[in-house]
Amino acid sequence: MPLGSFSPHSPQTQAIAVLFGGILIVCGTIFLVVAGLVGYGLLGKTRSSWAQSLRPGRIETVWTATALAIVTAIFIASVRAMALIDAPKEDASGRTPDLAITGHQWWWDARYPNGAVAVSEIHIPAGRRLLARIGSADVIHDFWVPQLARKMDAVPGRSGYIWLEADAPGTYQGVCSEFCGAQHARMHLLVIAESEAEYAAWLRRQAEPARTPPPALYERRCAGCHTDPAKGPDLTHVAGRRTLGAALSENTPANLALWIAKPQSVKPGNRMPDQRLSNDEVGALAGYLGSLQ
């Protein structure tokens, strides 16, 4: 994954990168000056140093004023960056969120006002700023797409708000950035930024019901959890996704069948129990899910 601070792709992360780079240069310079002075002192040349020729108290005044000026400049730059980066709460501005992102152990979903649901692959229009509400269904997670937005904790019972924006079409990787259990390290996501037309078409398609009515086997084995957002990810358009298991594996027929047959060996500890399905049942479920574009 490219380091977000060095590869920003939104006005918000651009501001973070400028702030980060500026502070890095200031602190690096201070380090070099202090290390240089310590080295100079170790060489035993302090007796003839210019500092001794100053009036008592003068040097203290100089370094106190310098430190105060540096900290003040960093404070002002930080406050200005925060004004650009931080999103308003929905009720403060009257604007309602364009999507609600929820962290689960261990996957993400995003729900849009028209009923569209994205699972671990969040679509946004390139070049337009969306207001996203971040929450959690279970424990504390942290939503972080380094190239696009600041981090935001996902806390059960609370909401955080971020601007989600990409300056160009593309696929941007995200992670859960707060330890949240055994599979925390495999709680990835993708943000897919596309043109307004592609985004509108995707949004419309995701809000439609499943193309094929579910077979009885699916109703019996899967629907109980996968139609309840508190229990399992929505599968209405699962075949249209690029990845499975929170961007863990590519969405191929073989990987889909492996998930259905042996969920606990693919991602140990996840909430999906091994149902000891026969090969025929796995094939039938994989075939049905694979048809859900």
Single residue of 98, 109, 178, 234 touching ligand CUA by CB under 6 A: 178
Site string for ligand CUA, 101-120 (x = CB under 6 A): --x--x--------------
What sign results for the dihedral spanned by CA atoms 29, 31, 37, 43? negative
Nearer to ligand CUA, 78 or 243 (CB): 243
Residue with smaller CB distance to ligand CUA, 30 or 185: 185
176 counts as binding ligand CUA under rule CB under 6 A: yes
Is 141 among the residues that bind ligand CUA (CB under 6 A)? Answer: yes
Q: What share of the chain is helix, strand, coil (3-state, %, to 5)?
A: 45, 20, 40
Longest dimension (CA), the chain: 91
Task: Report the nearest approach of ligand CUA to the CB of residue 178 (Å).
Answer: 5
Cβ at position 133, least distance to ligand CUA in Å = 17
CA angle 196, 198, 199 (to 5 degrees): 60
Dihedral, 191, 133, 187, 148 alpha carbons, nearest 10: 40
| Count of residues that interact with ligand CUA, criterion CB under 6 A | 9
CB of 272 to ligand CUA, least distance (A): 16
Rounded to 10 deg, the angle between the 58-85 and 11-42 helix axes is 160
Q: What residues make contact with ligand CUA under the rule CB under 6 A?
A: 103, 106, 141, 176, 178-180, 184, 187
